Amino acid sequence: MDAKQILSEVGAPVIVFDRVKLAFDDKVVLKDLSFTLIKGHTKIILGASGSGKSTALKIITGLLKADQGVVWVNGQRVDQLTEREMMSVREDLGMIFQEGALFDSLTVRENVGYKLYEETDTPIAEVDKRVKEVLGFVGLGEHIDKMPSELSGGQRRRVAIARAMAFKPSILLYDEATTGLDPITATTVDDEIIKLRDLEGVSSIVVTHQLRDAFYIATHMAVRENGDVKIQEASREKEREAEFIMIRDGLIVFEGDADALRASTDSYIRTFLS
Which residues lie across from 232 on neighbouring strands?
Answer: 221
Candidate segments 60-68, 183-191, 234-242, 258-266, binder of another protein by CB under 8 A = 60-68
Give the CA angle between residues 114, 116, 122 to the nearest 5°: 150
Instruction: Please say whether the beta carbons of 31 and 21 come within 8 A.
Output: yes
Distance of closest approach, residue 116 Cβ to another protein, in angstroms: 10
Binding characters for another protein, 145-184, by CB under 8 A (x = yes): ------------------x---------------------
Candidate segments 4-12, 111-119, 187-195, 229-237, binder of another protein by CB under 8 A = 111-119
Q: Is 256 exposed, middle or buried (0-12, 13-18, 19+ CB in 10 A)?
A: middle
Distance of closest approach, residue 160 Cβ to another protein, in angstroms: 8
Distance of closest approach, residue 16 Cβ to another protein, in angstroms: 20
Residue in 90, 143, 195, 197 binding another protein, rule: CB under 8 A: 90
Q: According to the 3-state scheme, what is the secondary structure of 144-165?
A: CCCCHHHCCHHHHHHHHHHHHH
DSSP summary character for residue 9: S
Candidate segments 91-99, 133-141, 178-186, 208-216, binder of another protein by CB under 8 A = 91-99
Would you report the helix, strand and coil content of the chain in percent, each value rounded to 5? Answer: 40, 30, 30
d(CA 111, CA 19): 36
Q: Does 119 bind another protein (CB under 8 A)?
A: yes
Cα–Cα nearest to 157, from 109, 100, 210, 214:
100
Q: Does 24 bind another protein (CB under 8 A)?
A: no
Q: What is the DSSP string of 179-239?
A: TT--HHHHHHHHHHHHHHHHHH--EEEEE-S-HHHHHHHHHEEEEEETTEEEEEEPPHHHH
Distance of closest approach, residue 47 Cβ to another protein, in angstroms: 19
Residue in 104, 142, 225, 233 binding another protein, rule: CB under 8 A: 104
Residue in 3, 6, 87, 124 binding another protein, rule: CB under 8 A: 87
Residue in 97, 174, 215, 272 binding another protein, rule: CB under 8 A: 97
Binding characters for another protein, 184-223, by CB under 8 A (x = yes): ----------------------------------------
C-beta of 99 vs 133, nearer to another protein: 99
Q: Strands 42-47, 251-256: parallel, antiparallel or unpaired by DSSP?
A: unpaired
Positions that interact with another protein (CB under 8 A):
58, 61-63, 83-84, 87, 90-91, 93-95, 97-99, 101-104, 114-115, 118-119, 163
